[in-house]
Amino acid sequence: MSFFESLLVLLAVAIALLQISRRLTIPYPTMLAVAGVALAVIPGAPAISLDPHMALALFIAPALVDAAFDFPVQALRRFWRPLFALAVLAVLVSAGTVAWLGVAMAGLPLYAALALGAIVAPPDAAAATAVLSSVSMPRRSVTVLKGESLLNDATALLLFGAAVSIHTRGEIDTGLAVHLGLAAPGGLLLGFVIARLFRHIIPFVTGTLGGNLMEFVTCFGVWIVAERLGLSPVLCLVAFAMTIARSTGLTTAPRMRIHSFAVWTSAVFLLNVLAFLLMGFQARAIVGAMEPQRLREAAIFAVSVIACLIATRMVWVLIYNRLVNWVPAIRGDLPPPTFKQGILVGWCGMRGLVTLATAFALPASFPERDLIVLTAFAVVLATLVLQGLTLAPLVRLLKLDGHDDLDAELAETRVVLASAALTTLDGETGPAADHWRYGFETVRAAALSSEDPALPEKRRLGLQAIRRQRERLEELRTQQHVGPDAFLMLQEELDFSEVALVGESGGHIEES
């Protein structure tokens, strides 16, 4: 079976598993990772290997750009304290405890133990986003966790690079220290500069399919350039995506934005599905290369690392949670987080492809490389299964399910937007002004009173009218009274009208 045929079979299996995970309310990364392991041990299963550097760029770069594009700079400014505590301090604390365990229990050299700590410390952006989408959580917790998953890889990869450089050079010298010191700020600056330059190219390709292709080429290109320059590719991509999002929001055509969002959502989801499924296939190469006695010792060590990571994150998050409640100066102007929110954030520590790909990126001569790789895989699989499967029940147990404040936020913002629109109609008269004034006043009234008894009837009549328009449009196409181009444009207009009418009550596309 060729690689392409194997890939098609895997995708077909993935589609079936996605339907099972949706009906059983199991996060799809958990289902796919376990299925990958099961498929890999089947006799005759194809051997699919991943090039580590390609895997990092292919699977992580688009997920980072997609998440960073939707993550506002204002949120970084507002939540910088908890984000620093999770994306930097939590990673360093977790890496340090695992490094101590590696030295004490497995006899690893200090730099090798530090490399292991850096590999397994950061929760994964793709895993966290996928699991978070399956549960309803407080908006503040979701924002902090998404921000953490954007930034913690940078801390871990810088630490990992330092450990590998020590192995290569034999010591920490001035050049290495300067390189590490410039990697983070240099990555941020490079991302900002590329984004500013990219703004001048956007007008030439916007509204075209080539523009969509260029978005992906730029995404991978920014990662590669930053990596070749020795800068942080994670921070470079985050800075690039946030700058583009902030500078093009009012100039992007609505049709292009809708199309671009649809393309990116599908592409990133496809890459996530392949990443979690292929992750399981790496088990064969890891386990098959070890002797039985060595495998038992490695399994004991891996279990210890898993327990250490889960306990360290939980303890650190709860300590920070209590500190910001007792010392208001630490939390700034943010409201104090509850103890339940601390437990929830502490339990969200799923690892993913970043951990596994980074482990495979270790040089072949690295001390105890097989032990480190096996431990990394065990951490990924265990956290996806243990924490991924129990996250939704934990949300319900803590009685945080449904406390996302999204409905209230939507209603409040709709009132503000409708009021802003109405101000532009002040002094305007005539049928056209009355038409728009009535429409915006209706939107504002509905947002102010979610219990409007007429709202369901308005939606019913609107959907009924749009349905009749669709039927009539199909009749016109059958009778060849409307051409294919006009048909598609009118169909799209009806789609937009129906989406606007349905709102948040339906019409959303699920991930699985």
Domain ranges of the chain: 3-404, 407-505
Q: Distance between CA 395 and CA 138 in Å, rounded?
A: 10
Name every residue whose Cβ is closer than 8 Å to that of residue 457 and which is 6 or more positions away in sequence.
none
Long-range contacts of 46-49 (CB under 8 A, 24+ apart): 46/1, 46/3, 46/6, 47/281, 47/284, 47/285, 48/3, 48/6, 48/278, 48/281, 49/282, 49/285
Q: Distance between CA 143 and CA 345 in Å, rounded?
A: 11
Q: What distance lies between CA 354 and its chain's CA centroid?
A: 12
**Does the pLDDT of residue 99 top 80, yes or no?**
yes
- Indicate the range of 224-228, 303-307, 404-408 predicted with least confidence: 404-408
pLDDT given at position 139: 72
SS3 (DSSP) at 335: coil
Token pair belonging to 74:
């204002």
Q: What is the pLDDT of residues 187-197, one digit of tens each?
A: 999 999 999 99
Q: Distance between CA 31 and CA 136 in Å, rounded?
A: 20
pLDDT given at position 71: 81
Name every residue whose Cβ is closer than 8 Å to that of residue 405 and which is 6 or more positions away in sequence.
138, 139
SS3 (DSSP) at 394: helix
pLDDT given at position 509: 57
pLDDT given at position 404: 58
Q: Which DSSP helix (H) or strand (E) runs through 113?
A: helix 110-120
Quick check: 377 and 357 in contact, CB under 8 A?
Answer: no
Highest average pLDDT, of 1-10, 310-319, 417-426, 463-472, comes from 310-319
Q: What is the pLDDT of residues 406-451, one digit of tens each?
A: 667 767 777 888 888 888 888 888 888 888 888 788 778 777 775 5
Q: Distance between CA 275 and CA 272 in Å, rounded?
A: 5
Local confidence band at 255 (pLDDT 50, 70, 90 cut-offs): confident
Q: What is the pLDDT of residues 336-373, one digit of tens each?
A: 888 988 998 899 888 887 787 788 778 878 888 888 98
Nearest-10 crossing angle of helices 139-169, 61-70? 140
Nearest-10 crossing angle of helices 369-397, 292-326? 50
- CATH code for the part of the protein at 3-404: 1.20.1530.20
How confident is the model over 39-68, as a mean pLDDT? 77
**Does the pLDDT of residue 458 top 70, yes or no?**
yes
What percent of the chain lies above the pLDDT cut of 90? 18
SS3 (DSSP) at 137: coil
Q: What angle do CA 188, 177, 114 make, to 5 degrees?
A: 95
Task: Please report the sign of the dihedral spanned by the C-alpha atoms of residue 70, residue 72, residue 73, residue 76.
Answer: negative
Q: What is the pLDDT of residues 143-180, one digit of tens each?
A: 888 888 888 888 888 888 888 888 877 666 677 677 77
